[in-house]
Amino acid sequence: MGSTAKIQVNARNRAYQFEGDCGEKILNLGLSNAIGLPYECGSGTCGTCKARLVSGDIADRWPEAPGRKYLKLKKGEFLMCQCTAESDIEIEVESFVHTMEAGACVPSALKGRIASAKLLVHDVMLLRVELERGVDFDAGQFMLIQFPEVVGFRGWSMVNYQRHAESLDFVVKKQPGGKLTEWMFSHECEGLDVELFGPLGDATFYSRLGKNILCIAGGSGIAGIMSILSRAQQDGYFSQYNGYVFFGVRTMKDAFFLDELSDFSDSGGDKLEVTIALSEEEAPSSAMADYPHLNFDKGFVHEVAGRRMADRYKDIRAYLAGPPPLVNGAIGMLLQARVTTDNIRYDKFS
């Protein structure tokens, strides 16, 4: 560690060279040099960041990563998000690679401390991380976070939105069998030092988008949507454009952020419509009385969205977030409604 390596990436269209710390992940080194290497989850699951080793030595920091099932190991393929350079290396990426556009938030390694960890409902917590230095990110992006106690980075979307943010809020759902989240739900997290890398992800919202927005989220997927709503509210976006938000949970017991969503809906006036979809029960009348600015409906969130959107897909940009069946269901619905693919943005949490 401490030594540096020269890395050459041969992409379909050209080659890139950069240098970096041998202990850093190859993907992170490329991205922090504003080179748009391919990735999706950044945390070893999706396989999108696969590359082939042409020469030199690498070390695999997570040989059990589920994303390795997409690799042809005999051909020397590896995941850039899990491997580090042990010497100068030359690698190959099959896709076109371009430098990041001017104005993009270039990701970097960050340090932070957990300022608070509050339960939102029985299996979901809101985590606030105070950063050593402020960071710029776009609404809808995520960070990779590593706890000292549990090895490996996880990707969580930011809930808040501000330029030069000095603290970041995340929603963490307890995953049955998930090492980190089980640890977090049974230990005191406040005061812990964490490492971060980001911001990442291109399911982002900008006010210059100039379209109506449709957000469909399930469970902790609402995090990035909150950031999008926050930015839209700050910029007065809903004075001009419509917003349709659908948030799916199983029952009222699993629902959170209802006060915040209600405030967004209130401040957005007629143009912002927020619907809570409960998949396993009818909404109790008390919920409707408590949240007059929210709609409640029964069903899977993408089905509820499909029903309520009816023919309101004109000039729309859709943001989807949640478990893969939800995202796939929503994509199918949007394609049927003739929403073009460049207007469908999502992060699949698996």
Partner 1 sequence: MSKNQQICNVADIPPNGMKSFKTEDGSKILVANFNDGYYAYSDACPHQGTCLGEGFYDGAVLTCHKHLWQWDITTGKPIGLAEAPLERYQVEVDGGKLFVKAASALRMAVLFADISEATKTRLERLTRRETFESGSILYDIGDTTDDLYILESGRVEFRFGRDDRTSAAGFILRKGEVFGWAALLEDQPLRIARAVCVEDSTLLRLNGEEAVELLSADPESGYRVMRQLNTLITTHLTSSGRQ
Size of the site for partner 1 (CB under 8 A): 31
Strand order in the sheet with 108-121: 154-157, 142-146, 193-200, 108-121, 124-135, 165-173
Instruction: Give the binding range for partner 1 (CB under 8 A) out of 163-171, 173-181, 278-286, 329-337.
Output: 329-337
Considering only 134, 236, 325, 332, the residue that binds partner 1 (CB under 8 A) is 332
What gap in Å lies between CA 254 and CA 256, rounded to an integer?
7
- Dihedral (Cα; 285, 290, 294, 297), 10-degree rounding: -20
- Residue 210 lies near partner 1 (rule: CB under 8 A): no
Burial 195-215 (b: 16+ CB within 10 A, else e): ebbbbbbebbbbeeeeebbbb
Considering only 42, 306, 331, 349, the residue that binds partner 1 (CB under 8 A) is 331
What the block records as the tokens of 112 is: 């932070």
- Residue 48 lies near partner 1 (rule: CB under 8 A): yes
Of 225, 100, 220, the closest CA to residue 161 belongs to 225
Question: Binding string to partner 1 for residues 146 to 185, with x set by CB under 8 A, is what?
Answer: ----------------------------------------
Instruction: Give the binding range for partner 1 (CB under 8 A) out of 47-55, 162-170, 252-260, 299-307.
Output: 47-55
Instruction: Give the binding range for partner 1 (CB under 8 A) out of 87-95, 111-119, 139-147, 250-258.
Output: 87-95
- Residue 106 lies near partner 1 (rule: CB under 8 A): no
What gap in Å lies between CA 139 and CA 217, rounded to an integer?
15
Of 203, 131, 197, 128, the closest CA to residue 164 belongs to 131
Backbone region of residue 13 per phi and psi (left: phi > 0; alpha: psi in -120 to 50; beta: other values): alpha
Considering only 2, 13, 310, 350, the residue that binds partner 1 (CB under 8 A) is 13
- Residue 187 lies near partner 1 (rule: CB under 8 A): no
Contact positions vs partner 1 (CB under 8 A)? 8, 10-15, 36, 47-48, 50, 70, 92, 94-96, 98-99, 101, 202, 206, 209, 328, 331-332, 335-336, 340-342, 344
